[in-house]
Homo-oligomer: A and B are copies of this chain.
Amino acid sequence: MSAKLAQKIKRLRKEQNLTQIKLAKKAGIAQSFLSNIENDLQSPSLKNLEKISKALDISLPDLLK
């Protein structure tokens, strides 16, 4: 669906030297779920997107651009 979002999350995570486990923990979601999101296999809910954007220190609208 939205493959760009997946790539952006992965890119931002790596730029901040975070592992999937660290980011997942920071965002309060499961690592396996984060992996699925980064590979565009699952479409997260608004709630979880907000958590992820906060964990990446970026606003939700910006994350979706």
| Residues in chain A within 8 A of chain B (CB atoms) | 1-2, 5, 43-47, 49-50, 60-62, 64-65
Q: What is the count of identical protomers in the complex?
A: 2
Extra contacts, 11 of them, besides A43-B46, A43-B47, A45-B45 (Cβ < 8 A), are: A1-B46, A1-B47, A1-B50, A5-B46, A44-B45, A44-B46, A45-B46, A46-B46, A46-B49, A60-B64, A64-B64
B residues near A45, Cβ cutoff 8 Å: 43-46
CA distance A27 to B24 in the complex (A): 32
Q: Give Cα distance in the complex from A60 to B46, angstroms.
A: 12
Give which listed residue, B5, B46, B61, contacts A62 with CB less than 8 A. Answer: B61
